[in-house]
Structure 1
Amino acid sequence: MSSIQDLETWEPLLRLVRAAHAEQLAAPGGRFTGQISLGSWTLPAPQPRSAPGRALQVVDMQDQFTAVERVQAALRADGASGVSYVVETGPDGRPLLHVITAGPAVEHGVRSPFVGALLLVEGAVPEPWRRLPEEFPGAAPAPSADPALLERTLRERLPDAIGATAEEIAAAEARLGVTLPDELKALYRVTRARWQDWSGDYAAQERVSTAVGCELFPLDGLYIADARSRPCPWQYAAKDAVVTAPDAAVQGLVGSPGWIAFGDNGGGDRLALDLTPGPGGHAGQVIMIDHERSIGAALRADSLTDMVVNHRHEWRSDVAWNRPPVVVQVSTHSPVGIAAAARPELEVLRIGPTGAPVSLASVAGLPRLRTLTASPGTLADPLEIAGLTDLEYLSLGAEEWRLLLSAGAVPRSLSAVAIDVPGDQHPLPVLDLANELLALWDRPLITRTVLEGDLGTDGKAGGTR
Structure 2
Amino acid sequence: MRLFHHYRRLTAQILDHEEVLPEPASEEDLAEAEEEMGVALPPDLRALYGIADGDGDLVNPLFDRKSWLPLAEIGDLDDEWLDIAQEWEHEPWRQTVFDTQPPNAVRRSPLREGWIRFAFDTGGNWLAVDMDPGPEGRPGQVIAVGVDYTEGPVYLADSVTTFLRRLVEALERGDYRHRDKNLWIDADLRPAPRVYREYSDDCPTRAGARQAGPHVQKVRVVEVEDCAFLDAVPEVRSLALSSKGSPDLTPLGGRPVEYLELDVETADLTAPARNRELRSVSVTCAQPVELAPLRAVPHLWALDIAAAPVTDIATVAELQGLQYLEVTQAQWRELSELDDLPSLALVGIHPDRPERDGSLPTDWDIVDDEPPSPA
CA distance in 2, matches of 1:222, 1:412: 41
TM-score by length of structure 2 reads: 0.60
C-alpha deviations, 1:318-344, integer Å up to 9, x for none? Answer: 745435543322212899852332225
- 1:166 Cα deviation (Å)? 1.2
Identify which of 377, 395, 410 aligns with 2:317. 410
Which of the residues 36, 40, 58 maps onto 1:205?
58
| Aligned pair partner of 1:188 in 29, 49, 67 | 49
Provide the rounded CA distance (Å) in 1 between the counterparts of 2:28 and 2:250.
61
Which amino acid letter does the alignment assign opposite residue 339 of structure 1? Answer: T
| Contact 2:95 2:151 (C-alpha < 8 Å) held by counterparts | no
For 2:3, the equivalent position in structure 1 comes to 149
Q: Determine the structure 2 residue equivalent to 1:178.
A: 39
1:322 paired residue among 197, 214, 218: 218
Which of 356, 361, 365 matches 2:270? Answer: 361
Instruction: Report the secondary structure of 1:205's partner residue.
Output: coil
Task: Give the conservation status (yes or no) of the 8 Å contact 2:118–2:126.
Answer: yes
Distance 1:217 1:283 in 2: 20
Q: Give the Cα separation in 2 of the matches to 1:277 and 1:317.
A: 21
Matches of 1:386 and 1:169, distance apart in 2: 50
Give 1:222's aligned residue: 74
Query: Post-superposition shift, 1:249?
Result: 4.6
Structure 2 unmatched ranges of 5 or more: 13-17, 168-186, 198-214, 220-232, 345-368
- Please state how far the C-alpha of 1:257 moved relative to its aligned partner: 3.5
Instruction: Give the aligned residue type for 1:217.
Output: L
Tell me, what secondary structure is at the counterpart of 2:148?
coil
Question: Which whole-Å CA distance do the structure 2 matches of 1:282 and 1:362 have between them?
Answer: 37
CA shift, 1:399, in A, is 6.6
Question: What letter is aligned with 1:343?
Answer: G
**CA deviation profile, 1:191-223 (whole Å, cap 9, x unmatched):** 3248xxx6xxxxx4324x147641222211114
- Distance in 1, matches of 2:21 and 2:315, equals 71
SS of the residue 2:240 aligns to: strand
Q: C-alpha distance in 2, partners of 1:438/1:233?
A: 28
Are positions 1:166 and 2:73 aligned together? no
Q: Which has the larger radius of gyration?
A: 1
Cα pair distance change 1:308/1:265, threshold 3 Å = farther
Cα deviation, 1:334-370, whole Å, max 9, x if unaligned, reads 9985233222534332112x2x122223334443333
Identity across matched positions, percent: 21
In structure 2, relative to structure 1, the CA distance for the partners of 1:441 and 1:304 (3 Å cut) is same
User: Does the 8 Å CA contact 1:244/1:278 hold for their aligned counterparts?
Assistant: no
Q: What's the counterpart of residue 66 of structure 1? A: none
Q: Secondary structure at the match of 2:254?
A: coil
Distance 1:212 1:412, change over 3 A: closer
Query: Structure 2 counterpart of 1:330, which letter?
Result: L
Local SS of the residue matching 1:287: strand
**What SS does structure 2 have at the residue aligned with 1:373?**
strand
- Between 1:236-245 and 1:284-293, the stretch displaced more is 236-245
> RCO greater where, 1 or 2, for CA within 8 Å and sep 6 or more?
1
Counterpart of 1:272 in structure 2 is 128
State which of 367, 370, 375 in structure 2 corresponds to 1:445: 370
Look up the SS of the partner of 1:394 in the other structure.
strand
Counterpart position of 1:380: 288
CA distance in 2, matches of 1:306, 1:437: 59
What are the superposed Cα offsets for residues 249-290 of structure 1, whole Å, 9 maximum, x if unpaired? Answer: 544433333311112224322110123445665432221115
Say whether 1:419 aligns with 2:326. Answer: yes
- In the aligned structure 2, how far is the partner of 1:205 from the partner of 1:265? 13
Match of 1:295 in 2: 151
User: Residues 262 and 271 of structure 1 are in contact (CA less than 8 Å); yes or no, is this contact kept in structure 2?
Assistant: yes
Residue 399 to residue 329, structure 1, CA distance change in 2 (3 Å): closer
2:245 aligned with 1:370: no
Q: How many residues align?
A: 282
Displacement of 1:184 after TM fit? 1.7
Q: Separation in 1 of the partners of 2:218 and 2:65?
A: 31
Secondary structure of the 2:147 match is coil
Unaligned regions of 5+ residues in structure 1, if any? 1-146, 199-203, 422-427, 449-465
Equivalent residue number for residue 339 of structure 1: 250
The alpha-carbon deviation at position 317 of structure 1 amounts to 5.5
**Letter in structure 2 aligned against 1:222:** I
Partners of 2:99 and 2:63 in 1: CA distance: 35
Contact 1:260-1:273 at 8 Å conserved across structures: yes
**2:190 partner amino acid:** E
Counterpart CA distance in 1 for 2:41 and 2:151 is 24
Inter-partner Cα distance in structure 1 for 2:190 and 2:279: 36
- Structure-2 separation of matches of 1:337 and 1:163: 64
Question: How far, CA to CA, are the matches of 1:159 and 1:187 in structure 2?
Answer: 15
Q: What does residue 355 of structure 2 align with?
A: none
For 1:388 and 1:211, the matched residues in 2 are separated by 48
Tell me the TM-score normalized by structure 1: 0.50
Task: Quote the Cα distance in structure 1 between the aligned partners of 2:54 and 2:337.
Answer: 53
1:286–1:292 CA distance, 2 compared to 1 (3 A): same
2:118 and 2:128 in contact (8 A); partners too? yes
CA distance in 1, matches of 2:281, 2:101: 24
